[in-house]
């Protein structure tokens, strides 16, 4: 028995940090959106006990250092599942890029093993387990257009984002989420993103309004350290993006375009200038499990 799943990437249409909590986590208010850029996750039941994890990226951990492995381990131990499981990750989502690739893999493993082993866990029960693995995992179980609050675990499903082309570009650098949030703690946040405006634009089904209200408070930390993020944003805007912004803690930048032709022109410009080799044109994805 096996299952093949698509683990979707996410972008943040809006990301605001309200403050640091005593437990070290941060209270956030953000609007998350799935995009049709995904990792393929294959889960196979085996007679041989234990968890085997394989990936097309040699540098990814294949043990409990991998969040997808931890997800399988959690369910195997809790339900005393017989035999073992083999997980194969075919990675396409840029790694350490602010796109929740790891969290999405973990969500796919929870979802897939629930089906494969007939555990009959509800979506809510999967999310309760997911948050123990990482703050983005519950969202990656729901997917679609969602308001995330608390540390990211309080989720409210929003009206679907208007259809548009999305250009995703990741420069050849890696950014530590932990370091970005620590640096943010030392800053005084002067301008908070207009999350309420974003919610209103989504309610109205306005792509232009959604684009205008986009904002990410973490750009104040990441862009001064990595100016290439600003350069990519500028290229996207010059090529006709409705708006362009860093996703999560970066360094990935995404731009919203009215059509794929404009997005492809921007993709070509960014590649030619050597700003990002990893550049993909895709579209937003509504909350439906493939």
Residues involved in catalysis: 10, 136
Residues 112, 3: contact at Cβ < 8 Å?
yes
Residues 68, 89: contact at Cβ < 8 Å?
yes
Q: How many residues does the chain have?
A: 290
- SS3 of 236, please? helix
DSSP 8-state assignment for residue 158: -
- DSSP codes of every residue in 92-107: -SPTTSSS-HHHHHHH
- How many Cα atoms sit within 13 Å of 28 on the Cβ side? 27
d(Cα 16, Cα 27) in Å, to the nearest integer? Answer: 9
* CB neighbourhood size of 59 (10 A): 6
d(Cα 70, Cα 74) in Å, to the nearest integer? Answer: 6
Lookup result for tokens 């969290």? 103
d(Cα 58, Cα 19) in Å, to the nearest integer? Answer: 37
Strands 2-20 and 26-46: antiparallel
């Amino acid at each position: 028995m096996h299952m093949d799943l698509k683990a979707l990437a996410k972008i943040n249409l809006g990301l605001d940090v309200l403050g640091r909590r005593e437990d070290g986590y941060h209270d956030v208010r953000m609007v998350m959106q799935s995009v049709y850029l995904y990792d393929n996750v294959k889960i196979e039941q085996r007679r041989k006990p234990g968890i085997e994890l394989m990936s097309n990226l040699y540098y990814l951990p294949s043990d409990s250092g991998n969040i997808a492995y931890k997800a399988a381990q959690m369910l195997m131990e809790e339900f005393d599942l017989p035999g073992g499981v083999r997980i194969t990750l075919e990675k396409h989502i840029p790694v350490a890029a602010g796109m929740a690739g790891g969290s999405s893999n973990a969500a796919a493993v929870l979802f897939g093993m629930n089906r494969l082993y007939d555990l009959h866990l509800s979506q809510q029960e999967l999310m309760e387990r997911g948050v123990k693995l990482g703050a983005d995992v519950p969202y990656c179980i729901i997917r679609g257009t969602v308001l995330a609050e608390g540390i990211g675990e309080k989720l409210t499903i929003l009206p679907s984002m208007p259809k548009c082309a999305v250009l995703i570009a990741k420069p050849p650098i890696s950014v530590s989420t932990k370091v970005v949030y620590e640096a943010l703690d030392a800053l005084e946040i002067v301008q908070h993103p207009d999350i309420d405006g974003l919610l209103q634009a989504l309610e109205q089904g306005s792509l232009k309004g959604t684009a205008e209200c986009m904002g990410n408070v973490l750009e104040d930390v990441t862009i001064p350290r990595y100016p290439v993020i600003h350069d990519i944003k500028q290229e996207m805007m010059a090529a006709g993006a409705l708006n362009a912004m860093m996703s999560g803690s970066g360094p990935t930048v995404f731009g919203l375009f009215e059509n794929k032709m404009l997005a492809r022109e921007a993709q070509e410009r960014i590649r030619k200038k050597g700003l990002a080799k990893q550049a993909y044109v895709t579209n937003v994805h509504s909350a439906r499990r493939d």
